Amino acid sequence: MDKATTITIDPKIFINKPFITCPKCKKADSFGVLMINRASFVRRCRECWHDESYPLPELDKKVLYLDQFVISNMMKAINAELGKTDKVDKTYLRMFEELDTLVKLQLIVCPDSEFHRQESLPSFYMAHKRMYEHLSHGTSFYDRQTIERFQVDEGFKSTVKNKTYDRKSLGVDDILQGDRNEWQGRFLISIDSKIEPKEIEDFQNQRLQIHENVKSLFETWKNEKGKSFDDYFSEIASVYGGRIARNYVESVMKYFQASLGIQPLTPEQMIPVMMGQESIIISSLQRHLPNEDKGEENLKKVIAYLQSDVPMGLPFNEIYSALWAAIVYQAGTGGRTNAPNIGMVNDIQMVSTLLPYCDAMFVDRDMHSLLNFGAVKKIVEKYDTRIFSLASRDDFFTYLSDIKAIASKKHMKTVQQVYGPDWPTPFLEMFE
């Protein structure tokens, strides 16, 4: 029988710098930081074990969203193992250094999203994940369908109350997982999930198929004449609510046909019928109506809402429709001669979902140009989100510098007291 192995853990290892004189035993350089909580931190003496808790001021961190290509290039800029550090534009090294510093200074947060995960699948998944989780530090946007559902829900609540929909009824903290304004701990726990090859293959095949469809549609759009941007916008924006209502009715019909044995479905086929996005939305909206026994009447009210003009003005639908309307309009007028690249569909979903909740976004040049197209710009400007790309990199670095410059001396002093003077140093050794 093997002898039992004893592991001895010295509790002092959990006490971190900066160290100061203990207020109880008066031992110099012994009173370190034991833990950092959301709005307080605890010091403990490594000599007499005396501890004290100190409050921390409330934070209001800026939310910056980084497109996947930024994550990828920053990762390559500091990951020597890939052998690409000399080939990557030095802009990305500077971006990482400045962003990492601001995150550590508790001034910004760069939440990750399902879009980061999806676009990290084809290559260097774990390295990409390491990078975006480092900068998000436990904050993640809810998935696209959940955020859409939240907005649809808010729109319906305003309709039930006979009030005008307020696009600000949902704030960034409503659609973030994790605490944007917590004082970050020193350690970040990440769970490695196994990625099946089929998931990667399915994502790539779906992306390729969608791109082929867009290229085919683009040729049709080039021949469309006589329509304005507003015409295209109205056509696209009006689709969402009607589609949800129509798909829900179709799901109900499939369910009854399966129940009566007319068209049997396998358990796998029943899942989207009973638990699809449409069913979840309809069920969620009905909760806001009184008289649960009036199911048919309530359902009619929900369907009427979905077919009204209100869903057209929901942020995700408004921005999504504006971006596609611009592409179709540009194709017809000759302003755009080539079909959108393979990543544009995903980028449009990302921007339309997340832009309203970000203080700033860094996107690629094509998306930046699209967001600055006159009619689109007029729509997105009301969300007060700063948009940057490589075309405006100098403005982006100025923006980052301004965030640091306006931080109070008291805030900077508190950061140093909690984390130490070396804490803001960029973590260039991440992949060593």
**Length of the chain in residues, anyone?**
432
Q: What are phi and psi of 73, to 5 degrees?
A: -75, -35
Does residue 72 share a domain with residue 116? yes
Does residue 97 share a domain with residue 47? no
Q: What does the block give as tokens for 19?
A: 């160290």
Does residue 249 share a domain with residue 265? yes
Q: What does the block give as tokens for 105?
A: 């200074």
Pairing status of strand 360-362 against strand 176-177 = unpaired
Domain assignment of residue 224, yes or no: yes
Domain assignment of residue 257, yes or no: yes
Does residue 405 share a domain with residue 368? no
Domain assignment of residue 293, yes or no: yes
* Element at 42 (helix H, strand E): strand 40-45
Q: What does the block give as tokens for 375?
A: 């009619």
- Cα separation of 139 and 191, whole Å? 14
Does residue 249 share a domain with residue 352? yes
- Cα separation of 149 and 151, whole Å? 5
Domain assignment of residue 102, yes or no: yes
| pLDDT score at 314 | 98
| pLDDT score at 269 | 64
Domain assignment of residue 18, yes or no: yes
Residue range(s) defining the domain that contains residue 354: 203-388
Number of domains present in the structure of the chain: 3
Other CB atoms within 10 A of residue 167 CB: 15
- Cα separation of 32 and 39, whole Å? 17
- Cα separation of 259 and 117, whole Å? 38
- Cα separation of 195 and 125, whole Å? 9
Domain assignment of residue 118, yes or no: yes
Asked whether 397 and 386 are in contact (CB, 8 A), the reply is: no
Does residue 231 share a domain with residue 359? yes
pTM listed for this prediction: 0.92
Pairing status of strand 40-45 against strand 31-36 = antiparallel
Asked whether 283 and 275 are in contact (CB, 8 A), the reply is: no
Domain assignment of residue 2, yes or no: no
Q: What does the block give as tokens for 61?
A: 């961190």
Pairing status of strand 360-362 against strand 386-388 = parallel
Asked whether 161 and 16 are in contact (CB, 8 A), the reply is: no
Does residue 92 share a domain with residue 27? no
Domain assignment of residue 163, yes or no: no
Q: What are phi and psi of 286, to 5 degrees?
A: -65, -20
Helix (H, G, I), strand (E, B) or coil at 43: strand
Render each residue's pLDDT in the chain as its tens digit; 432 residues.
Answer: 456 677 778 889 999 999 999 999 999 999 999 999 999 999 999 999 999 999 999 999 999 999 999 999 999 999 998 888 888 999 999 999 999 999 999 999 999 999 999 999 888 999 999 999 999 999 999 999 999 999 999 999 999 999 999 998 999 999 999 999 999 998 877 777 777 788 888 888 889 999 999 999 999 999 998 899 999 999 999 999 999 988 877 777 766 666 666 777 666 666 665 667 888 898 899 999 887 656 788 889 999 999 999 999 999 999 999 999 999 999 999 999 999 999 999 999 999 999 999 999 999 999 999 999 999 999 999 999 999 999 999 999 999 999 999 999 999 999 999 999 999 999 999 998
Does residue 80 share a domain with residue 34? no
Does residue 397 share a domain with residue 343? no
